Amino acid sequence: MASRLQDVILRGLAASKPAATAVAPGTLYFSSDSGILERSDGTTWQSYSGTGGVGSGAGGADFTNAGHPQGVVTGVGGQTCRDTTNGILYIKRSLASSMWGWYPVYPYGGIIEADCPMQFSWHASPPGNSVAGDNIALQGNGINFGFSGGVSQFAHLAADSYYTGFTTGNAAGNNARIYDAQFGSAPRFQWNLYNFDIAFKIRTDQTSIADQRLFVGVMTVAPNNADIVPGRFVGFRLSSVANAGQWDGVVCDNVTNNVKSSIAAAVFNTPYLLRIRYVSGTVYFSVNDGPEQSLTTNVPTDNTNPYIVISTYNVSGTPATARSFEISRMGCVIGT
């Protein structure tokens, strides 16, 4: 006997979904609280893609997972995964098949929630009258520039992207940095209130990473020309003095530095995607969407307000050569 539509097209809360073995194979179930549509094969419920849904971003996904898919769900570029605990949809950005490189897609699936996370970004792009990629400007939400020692800004139209570069002077301790203009006025971050997911696409110095320190992350005090960072800090360090040629993850709770060494190797004139996820006092680091490495001790968790910084130093001025970094873009979501 043919199944009635009301028996094979079901809707309700996720907790009310019947066992896949208790319904006819091919039955569809839409969870109204998470925006997920699944299909029973007679044994298990499977994600059912290509459907509409309630509000922007709702409907099916290639995978479902109870939590963030990083390090759990294996996919390839373009596939999606729905977090069944909150309805957030993630997309796999990196093309290679792996468990890494999952990024949230906003707005939320199902409904636009009142506490929908804030998103902002920086990006390098040529002005409208530029035809050759020259005069590239760094644009976006609130950017300040801080320089010392005859620093200069330059444009770089690389094969992979537009970049804005910043160069130190030739002497020891000369510094070049960019930072969030909201620092000290209307802070975007607060350690004990907001989680965040931030990624930087940067390029290392075009000729050498010798005699250089480079810091990339979120902090309350800008780093000095030293490998031990001050204040409260969550970010990456590339130093020619400490663990040369490696991207290290560093955290500091205003008292003690803790280092996750050798997350990935670094060389000159190379683009890198540096990602930091701060989740309830645990920090996850990844480079080029590789495996995440985490730190849980000496992580800042108080009510201070950090800001975004990229800062580089000419370590010793020997030889008398300037050092630089370049940025293509930065993207951040606060409140994840």
Backbone angles phi, psi at 5, to 5 degrees: -60, -40
Predicted local distance difference test score (pLDDT) of residue 115: 46
Amino acid at 114: A
Strand partners, 31: 12, 36
Q: What is the pLDDT of residue 241?
A: 97
Every domain of the chain and the residues it spans? 5-113, 119-334
For the full predicted model, state whether its pTM sits above 0.75. Answer: yes
What is the mean pLDDT of each successive set of 10 residues along the chain, which is 336 residues long?
Answer: 66 86 86 74 75 41 89 89 84 88 66 51 67 60 54 82 89 88 67 91 96 96 94 98 97 98 97 96 96 97 91 91 92 80
- Residues 6 or more apart whose CB falls under 8 angstroms from that of 234 comprise 217, 218, 219, 250, 251, 276, 278, 283, 299, 300, 306
CA–CA separation, 274 and 88 (whole Å)? 22
The CATH architecture that domain 119-334 belongs to is: Sandwich (2.60)
pLDDT digits (tens, 9 = 90+) for 203-256: 999 999 999 999 999 999 989 999 999 999 999 999 999 999 999 999 999 999
Partners of 145 in the β-ladder: 178
Query: Which pLDDT tens digit goes with each residue over 52-90?
Result: 333 333 346 888 888 999 999 998 888 888 888 877 888
pLDDT score for 96:
86
Reference 336, options 187, 113, 61; nearest CA is 113
Edge-to-edge strands, sheet with 9-12 = 9-12, 28-31, 36-40, 45-47
pLDDT of residue 33: 64
User: Which residue stretches of 70-138 are H helix?
Assistant: none
Q: How far apart are CA 321 and CA 8, in angstroms?
A: 71
